């Protein structure tokens, strides 16, 4: 059996192992998200040298939600550089929930760009006038990362905007401390629209593979992200990507990652692989239950943990050579 068939076999095995695992609840605080089919489950992996592995509902569409955050942070760094961006958002894990209404008491900045406060500060940095121009710039960048056409889910956007008062509270707190300017609604619209981008598991894996490949989409060969900032993004994903589960994740899975309440989760094996899992049942922290289980299992079986002692170029990659 070829190595690629063997890896496809492992992906299918992981899928089968968790297919009937039904712990967790679909998000309902954004009413439109409650319509997701809780049974959907897809896994997808792309390597930087063009191998593709997918299984289950990999083509089922859902909204990206918080997985927009690392990509928006990348865009802020590209547009404003490190000093200006970091004047508005820190890189410290908060240890608190993604939607916590708080700033770092020492710096009065949001803790990091992976929680809502930090992501709204980042959205404020990359917004444009008119509002549609900033949203379009984000969508265009994400299309390049996914290598296909993507659109905003207008129903989710309306639903999130209607019920997003907690995010409004966070934004006004930041206005009070001078972290964002007074175009509060504009920044929130940018943020809500980013979260409402429709993707499937395959798109997310391609985006993750683009990060793994230092900013160049490995399938289209388009340079999407400025490589000098990809390491900033991966670092913050590593330390803060799963909110108050980030330490446990780094310990057990050992990969930079990001989850979203739509049920998606991405993980990046630096210079090697992009991984995505979709399963909308979430745990109490807002992370996909089967997403975490599947990533844990893939990392263990393929030797993907960043500090795996045999990871001299992971055993996964070596098996493809
Ligand atoms: N749009 C969601 C929110 O702001 C994103 C949260 C998430 O995916 N964790 O609440």
Q: Is 18 a catalytic residue?
A: no
User: Do residues 139 and 86 both lie within one domain?
Assistant: yes
User: Do residues 292 and 251 both lie within one domain?
Assistant: yes
> How many independent structural domains does the chain possess?
2
- Domain end: 195, 230, 251, which one? 195
pLDDT means per 10 residues in the chain (321 residues)?
Answer: 89 98 97 98 97 97 98 98 98 93 95 98 98 98 98 98 97 98 98 98 98 98 98 98 93 97 98 98 97 97 89 57 53
Q: Is 191 a catalytic residue?
A: yes
User: Do residues 266 and 180 both lie within one domain?
Assistant: no
Q: Which residues line ligand 1 (CB under 6 A)?
A: 65-66, 98-99, 116, 160, 167, 195, 260-261, 286
Pseudo-torsion of CA 165, 168, 172, 178, nearest 10°? 160
Provide the b/e sequence for 180-216 (b: ≥16 CB within 10 Å): beeebebbbbbbbbbbbbbbbbbbbbbbbbbbbbbbb
User: Do residues 295 and 273 both lie within one domain?
Assistant: yes
Q: Which domain holds residue 296?
A: 3-64+198-320
User: Do residues 48 and 72 both lie within one domain?
Assistant: no
Find the farthest-apart pair of alpha carbons in the chain and give their distance in angstroms, rounded: 62
Q: How far apart are CA 216 and CA 211, in angstroms?
A: 7
pLDDT at residue number 309: 75
pLDDT at residue number 2: 77
Q: How far apart are CA 232 and CA 147, in angstroms?
A: 23
User: How many angstroms separate the first and last alpha carbons of the chain?
Assistant: 14
- Domain end: 168, 195, 222, which one? 195
Q: What angle do CA 118, 124, 127 make, to 5 degrees?
A: 135
pLDDT at residue number 217: 98
Cα of 261 to ligand 1 centre, how many Å? 6
> Sign of the CA dihedral 155, 100, 262, 127?
positive
Overall pTM > 0.75 = yes
Q: What is the CATH number of the domain that holds 216?
A: 3.40.710.10
Catalytic residue among 11, 15, 48, 66: 66
């Amino acid at each position: 059996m070829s190595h690629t068939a063997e890896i496809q076999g492992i992906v299918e095995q992981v899928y089968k192992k968790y297919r009937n695992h039904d712990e967790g609840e679909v998000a309902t605080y954004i009413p439109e998200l409650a319509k997701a089919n809780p049974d959907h489950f897809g896994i997808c992996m792309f390597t930087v040298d063009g191998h593709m592995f997918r299984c289950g509902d990999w083509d089922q569409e859902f909204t990206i939600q918080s997985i927009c955050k690392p990509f928006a942070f990348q865009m802020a760094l590209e547009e404003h550089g490190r000093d200006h961006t970091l004047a508005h958002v820190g890189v410290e894990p908060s240890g608190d929930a993604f939607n916590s209404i708080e700033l770092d008491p020492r710096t009065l900045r949001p803790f990091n760009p992976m929680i809502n406060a930090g992501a709204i500060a980042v959205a404020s940095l990359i917004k444009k006038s008119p509002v549609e121009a900033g949203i379009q710039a984000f969508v265009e960048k994400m299309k390049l990362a996914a290598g296909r056409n993507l659109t905003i889910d207008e129903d989710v956007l309306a639903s999130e905007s209607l019920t997003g008062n907690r995010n409004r509270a966070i934004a006004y707190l930041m206005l009070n401390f001078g972290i964002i300017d007074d175009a509060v609604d504009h920044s929130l619209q940018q943020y809500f629209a980013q979260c409402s981008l429709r993707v499937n598991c395959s798109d997310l894996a391609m985006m993750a593979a683009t990060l793994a490949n230092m900013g160049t989409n490995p399938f289209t060969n388009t340079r999407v992200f400025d490589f000098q900032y990809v390491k900033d993004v991966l670092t913050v994903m590593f330390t803060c990507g799963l909110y108050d589960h980030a330490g446990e994740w780094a310990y057990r899975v050992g990969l930079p990652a990001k989850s979203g309440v739509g049920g998606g989760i991405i993980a990046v094996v630096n210079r090697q692989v992009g991984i995505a899992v979709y399963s909308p049942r979430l745990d109490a922290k807002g992370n996909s239950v089967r997403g975490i289980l599947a990533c844990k299992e893939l990392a263990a079986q393929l030797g993907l943990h960043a500090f795996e002692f045999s990871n001299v170029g992971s055993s996964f990659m070596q098996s493809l050579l």
